Amino acid sequence: MPGISSGVLCVIFGIYENLINSILGFFKNIKENFKFLFPIVLGAIVGIVVFGNILKYLFFAYPIQIKFVFIGLILGSVPKLIKEIKQKSKFKPYYLIFTFASLILAIFLVILEKKISISSSNEYSFLFLIFSGFLMSAGVIVPGVSSTLILMLLGVYESYLFSVSTIYLPFLIPLCIGLFIGAIIFMKLTKFMLDKFYAQTFFSIIGFTLGSIFVLYPRFKF
Query: Is position 222 within any domain?
Result: no
Query: Is position 94 within any domain?
Result: yes
Q: Whole-number mean pLDDT of the chain? A: 82
Query: Is position 1 within any domain?
Result: no
Per-residue pLDDT, 30: 92
CB contact at 8 A, 78 and 210:
yes
Max intra-chain CA distance, the chain: 53
Query: Is position 84 within any domain?
Result: yes
Query: Is position 221 within any domain?
Result: no
Question: Picking from 8-22, 93-107, 152-166, 207-221, which range would have the lowest pLDDT averaged per residue?
Answer: 207-221
Query: Is position 85 within any domain?
Result: yes
As a whole number of angstroms, the distance between CA 178 and CA 62 comes to 36
Query: Is position 126 within any domain?
Result: yes
Per-residue pLDDT, 218: 60
How large is the angle between the packed helices 169-196 and 157-166, nearest 10 degrees? 110
As a whole number of angstroms, the distance between CA 222 and CA 217 comes to 12
Q: Provide the number of structural domains found in the chain.
A: 1
As a whole number of angstroms, the distance between CA 210 and CA 12 comes to 11
- For the cut 70, the answer to whether the pLDDT of residue 117 exceeds it is no
Please tell me the pTM assigned to this model: 0.69
CB contact at 8 A, 194 and 89:
no
Query: Which pLDDT tens digit goes with each residue over 28-45?
Result: 999 999 999 999 989 888
Query: Which pLDDT tens digit goes with each residue over 70-115?
Result: 788 778 878 877 877 888 888 888 989 999 998 898 888 777 766 6
Question: Residue 141's domain spans which residues?
Answer: 6-216
Query: Is position 43 within any domain?
Result: yes
